[in-house]
């Protein structure tokens, strides 16, 4: 991704990088499709599907894959099998902050264990029914237990964004002192705005020894700010974002893997080694497994993500797709599509005529454009454009209809 003034995204990048050092750092991805994703209503995978998903995520290039072995015997078997595969990504066994849960993770052969505890007053009173002191004692006992077994670990401060700051810091410092490798700072209910998430993560980051402990961000999408908040948390010092394929999770989920991967690569210039071309297939696979269609308008992987309809857009796209696309569809495994109908205008009509091998002069194009409008049937035809077809259209038709003519 070059920063050259002939790059159509040049000025956008200038704004994005203003007042920053300009040096990018790697922001890692933990994918939780097998844990958070399965908490989405209606989502449940078979053991075989879980193993397949882990393989796909690993070859895509995520850094960590999270799975909960304590949910059911099937989950335990899947966790054991996935750990035995020897994948490049760390397999993180997710458990409650209870010794017997940690024992299950150990039985699975886990080397990474993530435990969590809701530490906001509302979670302590409504869910755990214990005091802060009891919560702290319980969490630290489990942290010591994990460390005594020589495991790497993450502790999730559930509902961190609604926890009294002094108590949150106290808990983080204790975990930091014990050498817990990662602390996750979640916005469990999706209440934060990006600036707030930045402030929260910065406060934690500045309070601990970050040579011993790194920070994760786990942001929920209740008002659609999950990815923005997660990225703001990374700007404040976190270096790992939790995602799921297509963003599935409790309620409205967490950031989607595709959106996060493209944001990190294209906008944050994070140095990840990701097979972006797998994104569409990852989404399709999950959609088939759970029999839930991918919304057409879903960024990056949706069928409309690279669909162009209005005549003026069509005309520009066929001259230079960068006019309306920030990343080539094939880079993320998607395809460009054009739509012909009442909005096609002269340029769109000319392209359609060209495709059909007909005369593409101004008169013919105007007649067809009027005909498409008069039909009043909305979109009539959608076509995938492969490279060969795009070149043909460009060569055959674009020159014959003036680009400056108003639609
Ligand atoms: Zn969550």
Distance 221 CA to ligand 1 centre (A): 10
Q: Which residues of the chain have pLDDT under 50?
A: 1, 397-399, 401-407
Distance 88 CA to ligand 1 centre (A): 24
pLDDT digits over 113-137, tens only?
Answer: 999 999 999 999 998 899 999 999 9
Distance 335 CA to ligand 1 centre (A): 31
Distance 120 CA to ligand 1 centre (A): 15
Distance 142 CA to ligand 1 centre (A): 21
The pLDDT assigned to 313 comes to 85
pLDDT digits over 169-213, tens only?
Answer: 999 999 999 999 999 999 999 999 999 999 999 999 999 999 999
Distance 234 CA to ligand 1 centre (A): 17
**What one-character DSSP code corresponds to residue 266?**
I
Distance 309 CA to ligand 1 centre (A): 37
Distance 187 CA to ligand 1 centre (A): 8
Distance 218 CA to ligand 1 centre (A): 6
**pTM greater than 0.85:** yes
The helix (run of H) or strand (run of E) holding residue 80 is helix 73-84
The pLDDT assigned to 393 comes to 59
CB atoms within 10 A of CB 281: 15
Distance 242 CA to ligand 1 centre (A): 9
Rounded to whole angstroms, what are the CA distances from 377 to 312, 343, 365, 373?
Answer: 19, 11, 18, 8
Distance 43 CA to ligand 1 centre (A): 15
The pLDDT assigned to 159 comes to 96
Contacts of 1 (CB under 8 A, 6+ apart): 265, 266, 269
pLDDT digits over 5-39, tens only?
Answer: 789 999 999 999 887 765 679 999 999 999 999 98
The pLDDT assigned to 345 comes to 85
The structure tokens listed for 184 are 């996750």
The pLDDT assigned to 182 comes to 98
Distance 178 CA to ligand 1 centre (A): 24
Find out whether 87 and 55 touch, Cβ atoms under 8 Å.
yes
The pLDDT assigned to 305 comes to 94
CA distance 401 to 407: 11
DSSP string, 130-169: --HHHHHHHHHHHHHHHHHTT-EEEEEEETGGGS-HHHHH
Distance 190 CA to ligand 1 centre (A): 10
Distance 222 CA to ligand 1 centre (A): 11
């Amino acid at each position: 991704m070059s920063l050259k003034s002939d790059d159509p995204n040049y000025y956008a990048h200038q704004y994005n990088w203003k007042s920053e050092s300009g040096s990018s750092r790697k922001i890692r991805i933990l994918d939780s499709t097998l844990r958070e994703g399965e908490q989405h209503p209606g989502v449940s995978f078979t053991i075989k599907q879980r193993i397949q998903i882990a393989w796909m995520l690993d070859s895509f290039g995520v850094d960590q894959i999270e799975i909960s072995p304590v949910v059911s015997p099937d989950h335990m078997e899947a966790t054991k099998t996935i750990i035995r595969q020897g994948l490049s990504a760390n397999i993180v066994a997710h458990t409650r902050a209870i010794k017997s849960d940690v024992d299950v993770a150990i039985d699975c052969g886990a080397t990474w264990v993530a435990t969590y505890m809701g530490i906001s007053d509302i979670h302590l009173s409504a869910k755990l029914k214990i005091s802060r002191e009891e919560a702290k004692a319980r969490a630290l006992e489990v942290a010591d237990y994990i460390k005594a077994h020589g495991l790497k670990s993450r502790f999730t401060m559930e509902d961190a964004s609604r926890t009294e700051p002094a108590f949150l810091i106290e808990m983080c410092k204790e975990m930091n002192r014990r050498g817990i490798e990662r602390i996750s700072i979640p916005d469990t209910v999706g209440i934060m705005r990006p600036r707030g998430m930045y402030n929260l993560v910065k406060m934690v980051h500045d309070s601990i020894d970050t040579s011993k402990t790194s920070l994760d961000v786990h942001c929920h999408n209740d008002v659609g700010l999950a990815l923005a908040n997660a990225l703001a948390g990374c700007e404040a010092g976190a270096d790992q974002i939790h995602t799921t394929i297509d963003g599935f999770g409790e309620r409205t989920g967490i950031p989607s893997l595709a959106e996060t991967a493209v944001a990190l690569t294209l906008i944050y210039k994070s140095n990840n080694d990701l097979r972006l071309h797998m994104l569409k297939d990852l989404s399709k696979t999950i959609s088939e497994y759970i029999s839930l269609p991918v919304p057409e308008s879903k960024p990056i992987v949706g069928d409309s993500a690279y669909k162009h309809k209005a005549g003026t857009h069509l005309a520009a796209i066929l001259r230079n797709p960068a006019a309306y696309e920030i990343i080539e569809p094939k880079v993320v495994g998607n395809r460009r599509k054009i739509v012909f109908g009442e909005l096609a205008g002269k340029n769109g009509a000319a392209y359609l005529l060209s495709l059909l091998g007909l005369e593409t002069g101004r008169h013919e194009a105007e007649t067809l454009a009027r005909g498409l409008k008069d039909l009043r049937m909305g979109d009539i035809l959608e076509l995938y454009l492969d490279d060969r077809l795009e070149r043909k259209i460009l060569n055959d038709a674009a020159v014959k209809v003036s680009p400056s003519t108003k639609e």
